[in-house]
Amino acid sequence: MRFRAPLALGALAAGSALLLTGCSSTSADATADDDVIRFATLPLTDDPSVATPVDAMAEILEEETGMQVEITDVPNYSAVIEAVRAGHEDIGIMSGFPSALAVNTGEVDSLVAWPGLDEPVSTCIVMDDSPLESLDDITPDTTIAFADPASSSGFFMPTHMLHEAGLTAGEDFEELFSGGHDRSFLALKEGQADVACTSTTFPPMAGQGDPMFPFEEGETRSIGESISMPISMSVLGSQSMSDEKRQALLEALPVVFSDEHRDELGVYMEAMPEGVEPIIEPGADEFQAFVDIAAVADVDISDLE
């Protein structure tokens, strides 16, 4: 049987302390319940008509572990990190940068990580009729929409890209944190932003009627792409879970998030390269490249206070 409950969190920007203001009513009691896996997830979209693969993910995880799965929706990446770090949740799935942020605290483990491919992970797009032809055309009056301050493809990698082009937020452009990739696209579509920086997985959705990327083919174009990432995705784990539960997850997670379940898990698998073997219990050194990239972009992810 699966449970799903909301988690109310007062989440500050990445790298800041987060105050846990509320949680699932069962979370405190579940600490001692080794038969329940508490999984913190991010809502994929605000559109209630869009089916998400969360239930499918929980069902597969239950089958592989023999344990019940409790799904908890949290508002952003930082909230996932804090929920796992505090032991309110057992696991959370994250992209590379927030995983590096979490691992660097020394209080959160990466149970499983998937290497990235040698190709761009982020792109900055504009409407096709935009006067901006490249990053060189960005001015202090340009507003750039980012997904979340702890998002790999929606903030860290584009920030590095812009930094390499000699562009700094607040000086060379205005930044707008939309709260999600889909919201960045709406901001671009409605003229609230001139540029939307996002994952390269979204533009190919053009013309498919997908609300996650509400554009027709040829309606947008890219003016810049980022470098690749050493780690594409990671499942973070709480250090307070039992050894039995941890071992069950280490065995199950590579099976759950595998090519076999790519169609069932949909967007959860889009950032995971096909045919790539996961790294089991990667160490902090596997995430060092993210710390180095962030330093170039003047973003400090060395610790979470």
Each residue's pLDDT expressed in tens, for the chain with a length of 305 residues = 344 443 332 232 333 333 233 333 334 444 446 789 999 987 655 444 455 688 899 999 999 999 999 999 888 888 899 999 999 999 999 888 889 888 988 999 999 999 988 889 999 999 999 999 999 999 999 999 999 887 889 998 999 999 999 999 999 999 999 999 999 999 999 999 999 999 999 999 999 998 889 999 999 999 999 999 889 899 999 999 999 999 999 999 999 999 999 889 887 787 677 888 999 999 989 998 888 887 776 666 654 43
Residue with tokens 């889009």: 270
Residue 247's pLDDT is 97
Residue 23's pLDDT is 37
Dihedral of alpha carbons 286, 224, 296, 16, sign: negative
Q: Which residues contact 31 (CB under 8 A, 6 or more apart)?
A: 87, 240
Domain 3-117+230-296, classified CATH 3.40.190.10, yes or no: yes
Q: Are 160 and 296 in contact (CB under 8 A)?
A: yes
Distance from C-alpha of 278 to C-alpha of 112, rounded to nearest angstrom: 6
User: Are both 3-117+230-296 and 122-225 of the same fold?
Assistant: yes
CATH fourth-level superfamily of 122-225: Periplasmic binding protein-like II (3.40.190.10)
Q: Which residues contact 154 (CB under 8 A, 6 or more apart)?
A: 122, 146, 147, 148, 181, 184, 197, 198, 199
Q: Where do the structural domains in the chain lie, given as residue ranges?
A: 3-117+230-296, 122-225
Residue 116's pLDDT is 86
CA 199 to chain centre: 10
Task: Give Rg (Cα) of the chain.
Answer: 19
* Buried-exposed string 145-157: b where 16+ CB fall within 10 A, e elsewhere: bbbbbbbbbbbbb
H or E element that contains 176: strand 174-177
Residue 33's pLDDT is 62
Residue 175's pLDDT is 95
Residue 173's pLDDT is 98
